[in-house]
Structures are given as structure tokens and as C-alpha cells.
Amino acid sequence: MIRTASHTRDLLPAALSNDGDASAFIHRFQLVESLARDWFRRYGFQEIRTPIFERAELFARGVGAETDIVTKEMYTWRDRAGDDGEGESLTLRPESTAPVARAYIQHQMWKRAETARLYYIGPQFRRERGQRGRYRQFFQIGAETLGASDHPALDVEGVELVMGILSDAGLRDLELRVNTVGDAETRPRFVAAIRQALADRLEELSDDSRRRFETNPLRILDSKAEQDQPLIAALPPIYDFLNDECRRHFDAVQRYLDAAGIPCVVDARLVRGLDYYTKTVFEVVSHAPSVGAQNALAGGGRYDGLVETLGGPPTKGFGFALGLDRVVLAMPEDRAPEERPDVFVIHLGEAAFERAVSVVRDARRAGVAALLDVTPRSLKGALRLANKLGARFALILGEAELVTEQWALRDLARGEQLSVPAGEWLRHITRTTAT
């Protein structure tokens, strides 16, 4: 048997799932996607769809050549040489901020609008060690605000969106963590202080942190290794190095969050894995028991240098990405009932079948979710199937019904059976299912 590649999975209709794993039920993904689209609409964000693969260089420059994503996790290959000359180095996108920034530059969006508000929903690819809540193909819902302004109110719009989507999805026990990572002026001072504080104690650090000391010292802050903890605790906080502008920005973000009624925890160690962040960074973690170790549901922040790094004009940016797989994992069971047929049409006998085919078509054209049982079976067997499928009604067409044009409509939820004129049965269904 050929199975899915390691740490990838199928998302399935619940009724066709063999192991009943609700975290892979497609309707739960669809629900979160549709409520996210509605939140984006309210905040004036429009959808963008960028290619699944991009030139490898985009991520090396945009995400940061020293990040874990770029050094270890990208699916990159050299394309075959063809009409376009040399085969290019291509990468399955590991994230979508760099692609959206690329599109912003390529389409010169700043000429059209002072602020571009874009969102995306789609798969991302990282060669990670898989576990519950961590896959090699996973889905993100994300948004980017690109343009002239770096007003802290724009940061808070992004955080509001994330919290709105998560709470609409029925998630509780959430914790919003915020921090600032400074800007191009303050960050080097902080990084220099980290280097100075740790230079004599390198042998006490974990292997990962020792490597990061060389490549990306800021990332030492979010090391989980036990042996690093006392050293990290002794580091000076970034707040000692902020300039007035960064400090004002961070204060304003907290003030606006407070005014929005969104509680947050200031976490001085929050730095996040991607290189492009400036000023605000944030993360939302879930403390729901179903989530497990991979409890970061969403993260993001400000990235005022990214567009310029990629060859565009100086542009301010703020964005976030929310891990759809993890949101679904944390979602309460009752938040996402699966779609069920409104009516299951049962035929008894050959002649009734012909009629059933046209009746079911009428129902569908009228917007009713209708299923036709094509297999001949006893009434009892057919009703059992209708119940199993969770249909609200069963329409029973037998010889007698065809003669009288009075149809037997069984309300499976209430356990009642009605006799309705053929011309009225659809109205009866739409009236009941609308309430």
C-alpha cells in the first residue's frame, strides 16, 4: 500500500474517516476558514493567492539565511533546464509573508493604495520532525498590512483579528504574549550585549544555543533547553536598549490592546523564529489539554525592513499567521457540526425511481441538500441509512404515492411522518430547515 509521505496527512470528511480523528476532519478546517474570511472582510482585508513554490532566493533573503527554516526545513530543488535557460532553484513555500511582500513589490501595490491589507489561506511546507500538531505540510491563515504607516493601531488590528478568529472558533484558555524586538538601531545593541554576557560561558550553553551565538544570538532567548535557563535569566532585558521610538510604540500597542479589552502578557523572552521582525512580536498559545506540546496557535509581528530587503521601497509591514491544524486540534467538538443532508429520497420500485431522480434534482436546484438512494432496498433498510447519514427528512416515494400525488415525508429529527401534496413538499422542507 502506498501511504502519505511522512508527517503529511489527508484531511477527510468525518463520515469517511476510519480512525475518527476529529483533528483531520475537513469540515472543521472549512468552518475556521469561513469565519476567518468573514473577519477579514470586516477589517478590509482582501485575499491574495501566491504560488505554492517560489524562487529559493526569496526565502533565503526574506526569512533569513541563518534561520532554522532556511537552513534545515525547506524543500528546495533545482528545476530542469529548459526554455528559460538554467534550471532555477525553487522552494515549496515554508511561509507566506515573504511571498506576499514579493507580490507587493512585483505589482507595485504602493502606487494603488497607501495601505495594502492582504490575507491568505493555504498550505506551507517545512521538513520538520513531525508530531501531534506539527506536520510537514500544514495550513496557515495569515494576513499582512503593508504600506506607509507603522502606526501601533495597525499592529493591534492584526492582533484583534487573530483573537477574533480564535474566539469565534470556540477556543478558550488562550494566552496572548507580546514583546518588542527593537529596530535596526536598537537590536544590534541588544545582540552585542547578549554576546558580551555569554562570551565567557559558551561551554555552559546547549549545542543549539552555542550555534545560535554565532548565527542568531537573539534566538537563544527562546531556547527550551534546561541548561540554558539560568544564563538566559541573567541576560539584561531588551527594554534596557530600546530607543524612544521603540519604547513609545510598544507602550502604545499595550494601551490599544487594553482599550480593546484584550488581555496580554508581556514576555521579554519572546523573539520568534523568523529574522524579519522589528518592534512588536506576538504569539498566542493555547492551554487546552487537547493541544499538547505544540501549543503555539498563531504568531506574528511588525517587519518594517522586509520589503526593502527584497528590493522594494522602504515600507512598513505587520502580519501574522495562524496554524489552522492546531486551531482545529484545540476546537471544541460542538463548535463544528458536520454538514448533513436535508433530505434523503427513498424510492420503492422501478417506477418510483424515475420520479425520484427528478424530484431530487428539483430539490437541489431549490438549494436543498438532497441525496438519492440509488440502491434498491427495503423501506426499513433505507430509513436506517437515512438516519445514519444524519438526514433531517426522508422522502418516501412508493407506487401509492405516485398515484395519489400525496407524498410521505418523515421528519427524522422529530420521528413524525406527514403526508404532503407533491407540489408542497419542498416548501415544507425549506421552512423547517431554515428555522
- Give the contacts of 371 (CB within 8 A, at least 6 positions apart): 341, 343, 344, 345, 360, 389, 391
HSE (CB half, 13 Å, CA atoms) of 221? 23
- Residue closer to ligand AMP (CB basis): 69 or 368: 69
Cα–Cα distance measured from residue 370 to residue 25, given in angstroms and rounded to the nearest whole number: 22
- Residue closer to ligand AMP (CB basis): 293 or 434: 293
Grid cell digits, residue 152: 501601533
Considering the rule CB under 6 A, would residue 321 count as an interface residue with ligand AMP? Answer: yes
- Residue closer to ligand AMP (CB basis): 59 or 256: 59
Q: How far is the CB of 344 from ligand AMP (least distance, A)?
A: 37
H or E element that contains 95 = none
C-beta of residue 238 within 8 angstroms of C-beta of residue 178: no
Of the candidates 299, 259, 39, the one whose C-alpha atom is nearest the C-alpha of residue 167 is 39
- Residue closer to ligand AMP (CB basis): 147 or 299: 299
Cα–Cα distance measured from residue 397 to residue 409, given in angstroms and rounded to the nearest whole number: 9
Considering the rule CB under 6 A, would residue 273 count as an interface residue with ligand AMP? Answer: yes
Residues 211-240 that bind ligand AMP (CB under 6 A): none
- Residue closer to ligand AMP (CB basis): 182 or 323: 323
Residue type, 214: E
Of the candidate spans 130-138, 165-173, 363-371, 416-424, the one that interacts with ligand AMP by CB under 6 A turns out to be 130-138
Q: How far is the CB of 146 from ligand AMP (least distance, A)?
A: 17
Cα–Cα distance measured from residue 180 to residue 194, given in angstroms and rounded to the nearest whole number: 16
Of the candidates 425, 335, 332, 339, the one whose C-alpha atom is nearest the C-alpha of residue 390 is 339
Residue from 33, 66, 88, 128 binding ligand AMP (CB under 6 A) = 128
Residue from 102, 177, 326, 347 binding ligand AMP (CB under 6 A) = 326
Cα–Cα distance measured from residue 286 to residue 293, given in angstroms and rounded to the nearest whole number: 10
362 to 401: interface string for ligand AMP, x by CB under 6 A? ----------------------------------------
- Residue closer to ligand AMP (CB basis): 133 or 217: 133
**DSSP letter at 71?**
I
Residue from 40, 104, 138, 190 binding ligand AMP (CB under 6 A) = 138
Rg over alpha carbons for the chain, rounded to the nearest Å, is 28
- Give the contacts of 398 (CB within 8 A, at least 6 positions apart): 347, 348, 349, 352, 379, 408
Residue type, 407: W
Residues binding ligand AMP: number (CB under 6 A) = 17
C-beta of residue 48 within 8 angstroms of C-beta of residue 100: yes
Of the candidates 212, 218, 223, 225, the one whose C-alpha atom is nearest the C-alpha of residue 72 is 212
Residue from 127, 134, 247, 377 binding ligand AMP (CB under 6 A) = 134
Considering the rule CB under 6 A, would residue 301 count as an interface residue with ligand AMP? Answer: no
94 to 113: interface string for ligand AMP, x by CB under 6 A? -x------------------
Considering the rule CB under 6 A, would residue 296 count as an interface residue with ligand AMP? Answer: yes
H or E element that contains 343 = strand 343-347
Of the candidate spans 55-63, 149-157, 183-191, 291-299, the one that interacts with ligand AMP by CB under 6 A turns out to be 291-299
Considering the rule CB under 6 A, would residue 169 count as an interface residue with ligand AMP? Answer: no
Cα–Cα distance measured from residue 179 to residue 268, given in angstroms and rounded to the nearest whole number: 6
What sign has the CA pseudo-torsion 378, 379, 384, 389? Answer: positive
Of the candidate spans 127-135, 155-163, 234-242, 386-394, the one that interacts with ligand AMP by CB under 6 A turns out to be 127-135
- Residue closer to ligand AMP (CB basis): 9 or 27: 9
Q: How far is the CB of 134 from ligand AMP (least distance, A)?
A: 4
- Residue closer to ligand AMP (CB basis): 154 or 298: 298
Of the candidates 227, 222, 323, 224, the one whose C-alpha atom is nearest the C-alpha of residue 274 is 222
- Residue closer to ligand AMP (CB basis): 321 or 331: 321
**DSSP letter at 69?**
I
- Residue closer to ligand AMP (CB basis): 82 or 289: 289
- Residue closer to ligand AMP (CB basis): 221 or 386: 221
Of the candidate spans 44-52, 135-143, 223-231, 252-260, the one that interacts with ligand AMP by CB under 6 A turns out to be 135-143
Cα–Cα distance measured from residue 146 to residue 315, given in angstroms and rounded to the nearest whole number: 7
Binding site residues, ligand AMP, CB under 6 A: 95, 126, 128, 133-135, 138, 140, 273, 296-299, 321, 323, 325-326
